[in-house]
Amino acid sequence: MKKNLFLKRVYDPPEDSDGLRVLVDRVWPRGLTKEKAKIDVWLKDIAPSTELRKWFAHDVAKWKVFHEKYTTELLHNKPAVEELRKLLSKQNITLVFGAKDVLHNQAVVIKEFMSK
């Protein structure tokens, strides 16, 4: 049975309702210790490629193109996507990310991609 997928900034306090906390950033969030982040799984391989991440640079004007390019990366990243699907089949998951913009980041694309 498919479980629920939630999104949350890694800097927001962890809660019991988060379920499994999966970090989907390629680089560790600045200024955060592993103890404070309470990350259960760091799935860095599902994160956007370094080239795409640097190109996007959280510029909302590039969001549509970033969304399309990252979706294409996810389509070709079967091992990481399957790992997330496996985890999601067992429990609720909160995808945690470091971006300040909660509407325009890779976790938003991953959640949409996983719902298809």
| C-beta of residue 29 within 8 angstroms of C-beta of residue 37 | yes
What Rg, from alpha-carbon coordinates, does the chain have?
A: 13
State pTM to two decimals: 0.95
Nearest-angstrom CA–CA distance, 91 and 93? 6
pLDDT computed for residue 3 by the predictor: 82
Consecutive 10-residue runs of the chain (116 residues): their mean pLDDT? 87 95 96 93 97 97 98 98 96 97 98 94
Of 78, 111, 109, give the one whose Cα is nearest residue 93: 111
Instruction: For residue 95, list its beta bridge partners.
Output: 7, 22
